[in-house]
Structure 1
Amino acid sequence: MRCLSLTVLALTTLGTPAAALIVPMKGWVPVNGDANLWTDAGGGCLLREERSGQAFPVLASQDEALTFAGKLRAQLSKNVSGVVTQPVDRAGFWAVLAAYDYREGGATYKVAQLYLSDAGILRTVTGSSAEGHKNECVNAMREFIRYLAN
């Protein structure tokens, strides 16, 4: 699963890390002490937070989020397959959730990625696991990204 860490998550924006991500799942630990990169105890799931430095205004309405979701889907579809995007409400602002399949070296990884504005800067929270991975970490990670990460 170690190959997940840099390759799959390289699809997120590169840049300076944000403040430490708080991962509320039992048994998850930072990878090599990096509070922006977490894995479950079995190493089957990986979660990364990144702050790009790229300007990204707050999505103040569902319409703004839908517009961005469409553009994001078109852009991601150039490099990965099975792309689905949707706006998600974050109590006063909107974010966009993307899910897609990433293939490398004969393996396929399921990725869930949240795009949101952090003081006008793009921040992403990305989770990945190998396709078909049945560990309980998969659902917990996806639920965290979908409902709790902000």
Structure 2
Amino acid sequence: MSSRRPVFVSTLALALGLLGTCASALIVPMTGWVPVGGNTNVWTDTSGACLLSEELSAQAFPALASQKEALAFASKLHIQLSKSVDTVVIQPVDRAGDWGVLAAYNYKKGADTFKVSQLYLGDAGKLRTVTGSSANAEKGNCVNEMREFIRYLAD
């Protein structure tokens, strides 16, 4: 039996061959979202259809100071992600003078496919990711809320 619940995707390890550790608490401003098991680095909506998580890697990762730096990282990330996931789309995003990279892709686990949105940022010299996932066919309000949060608000 397959599960349609969103999955926690540690693409720090998936894309870059790293083991991530949790960062300080992720602030999720969406109404009704709650920490999973009291862990404020992993959040879900009330229906359980969408999942948000944050990871901080031990890997050194300086802030991306320009769009050019973000594009260079995006290119490398696209190559790495394309080796293990489908339909990869990547773009640089401006975060108040610093730059991040936003990735969207399909992740398969068994017979299920999940839509993943992931933001890569430099945080005090370390790589931090904010990741959202939902089942491929999920159409609930949480999907757009989650994607908009990752695209425009997470930093």
Query: Which TM-score applies when normalising by structure 1?
Result: 0.95
Relative to structure 1, the CA distance from residue 17 to residue 2 in structure 2 (aligned partners, 3 Å threshold; closer, same or farther) is farther
Identity %: 66
Counterpart code for 1:27: G
Q: SS at 2:62's partner residue?
A: coil
Q: How many residues align?
A: 148
RMSD: 1.3
Q: Give 1:138's match in structure 2, choosing from 129, 135, 143.
A: 143
The separation in 2 between residues aligned to 1:39 and 1:23, in whole angstroms, is 10
The separation in 1 between residues aligned to 2:140 and 2:40, in whole angstroms, is 22
Name whichever of 106-115 and 14-23 sits farther off: 14-23
Q: Match for residue 148 of structure 1?
A: 153
Q: Match for residue 10 of structure 1?
A: 10
Aligned residues of 1:69 and 1:96 also touching (Cα < 8 A): yes
1:92-111 to structure 2, matched below 5 A, reads: 92-111=97-116
Moved over 4 A (4+): none
Q: SS at 1:4's partner residue?
A: coil
Q: SS at 1:52's partner residue?
A: strand
Correspondence 1:68 to 2:70: no
Structure 2: stretches of 5+ with no match in the other structure: 14-18
Query: Which TM-score applies when normalising by structure 2?
Result: 0.92
Aligned residues of 1:12 and 1:126 also touching (Cα < 8 A): no
- What is the deviation of 1:144? 0.2
Q: Match for residue 77 of structure 1?
A: 82
Aligned residues of 2:12 and 2:20 also touching (Cα < 8 A): no
- What is the deviation of 1:2? 7.5
- Residues 115-147 of structure 1: per-residue CA shift (max 9 Å, x gap): 000001000000000001011000000000000
- What is the deviation of 1:3? 5.5
Aligned residues of 1:62 and 1:94 also touching (Cα < 8 A): yes
- What is the deviation of 1:107? 0.7
Relative to structure 1, the CA distance from residue 2 to residue 48 in structure 2 (aligned partners, 3 Å threshold; closer, same or farther) is farther
The separation in 1 between residues aligned to 2:6 and 2:29, in whole angstroms, is 21
The separation in 2 between residues aligned to 1:111 and 1:45, in whole angstroms, is 10
Aligned residues of 1:52 and 1:122 also touching (Cα < 8 A): yes
